[in-house]
Structure 1
């Protein structure tokens, strides 16, 4: 699962240089912060053969309007009616510097690539009542993550990003085993509701 991630300005500058076109609301915005469900967040998508850096809201509306769907399982995403249009027609890449999970005692754990490169999370979006909303794909956790959580984002390598956005080549990445990650514990604890 992925319920929060971090984005740094240096990574945003890299994506600004990589995009063929940048939507106005992302051009000069600072993004050195954590991204939470329901936040607007920068994403890369393909439109008219151009790679576009844009802004979309994280989370599909939940069943009967309750909560948000923030993740989709890569193993079943092509069979879920809610996700069909997005996965087949509107795939995206969500840039992150790190993402977070909480361990068994509710301590926040930050995951990074071992090579310190950006994390390119696979996802997709769709339009709901005039607003574009996205979800992050997850897969079974690899051995570098499974002692903390049984799921992790579907993480692409830099050279796989264009294929993920391509209408013909994306399917093979649904079974991708992501690269090993490193992690550090932070001092923040997850809030408990009683």
Structure 2
């Protein structure tokens, strides 16, 4: 699972890391505001290549993928995550797997442990300031809107079986996009299939093994104080 993320970055983070993602992050997305407690259905940054003109874009997306055929901007079941093992065959995701793939650049995320009555959140970070989560996107169009209006960018984060520090926390974790696969992943000319999903999930393992985590206090509100260790 990945149902809560941290987005607190500037456009220099990816540049400083030497990642190819820097080409998509030269500027912040329009309307950028940092968040230390970003939830599904809220706007989340998504980096992708426009399949029409090839431009590199970083925009806010509705965090829960809504397929174009949906009659409303919501689904009957959660779509903020998509299992990498089955996304290529699922009706909601298979069209996006083919040529609407994105990266969700976050600076951290959370996972919970313990019983439902006293859940303990853990803040999780990677070895670099930006954690590039592999995602899928879709453009949803309001049924009654004109052709040039009423479009909504929506996105989901891919997940895989947990590894490393994530194993004691949850049985699922995000798929992290290895830099060497970023070009193919964000190229709409690369036709996506299950083989591509499997390759990206497998290549995410090195970064997965470098994650670090610590307990934080229950998440209330939104602010940098949410990242203080629980013992502080």
Q: TM-score range by the shorter chain?
A: 0.7 to 0.9
Q: Which structure shows the bigger proportion of residues in strand conformation?
A: 1
CA distance in 2 between counterparts of 1:52 and 1:141 reads 30
What displacement does 1:15 show?
Answer: 5.5
- 1:1-194 alignment to 2 at 5 Å? 1-10=1-10, 12-14=11-13, 18-19=23-24, 26-27=29-30, 29-47=32-50, 48-61=53-66, 65-66=75-76, 68-105=78-115, 106-113=119-126, 115-129=127-141, 130-166=151-187, 167-168=189-190, 171=196, 172-178=199-205, 179=207, 180=209, 181-188=211-218
SS of equivalent to 2:47: strand
Structure 1 residues 22 and 8, CA gap change in structure 2 (3 angstroms): closer
CA distance in 2 between counterparts of 1:33 and 1:177 reads 24
Q: Output one character per residue of 1:138-188: Cα deviation in whole Å (capped at 9) or x when no partner.
A: 001012211110100001133432221124386131443432111011011
Q: With the length of structure 2 as denominator, give the TM-score of the two structures.
A: 0.70
Structure 1 residues 22 and 153, CA gap change in structure 2 (3 angstroms): same
For structure 2, the residue ranges without an aligned partner over 5 or more in a row are 16-21, 142-150, 221-232
Question: Which region of structure 1 is more displaced relative to structure 2, 99-108 or 124-133?
Answer: 124-133
What displacement does 1:30 show?
Answer: 2.7
CA distance in 2 between counterparts of 1:39 and 1:49 reads 26
For structure 1, the residue ranges without an aligned partner over 5 or more in a row are none
Q: With the length of structure 1 as denominator, give the TM-score of the two structures.
A: 0.82
CA distance in 2 between counterparts of 1:127 and 1:169 reads 18
- Higher Rg of the two aligned structures: 2
Q: CA RMSD in A?
A: 2.8
Query: Contact 1:107–1:189 at 8 Å: present in 2 too?
Result: no
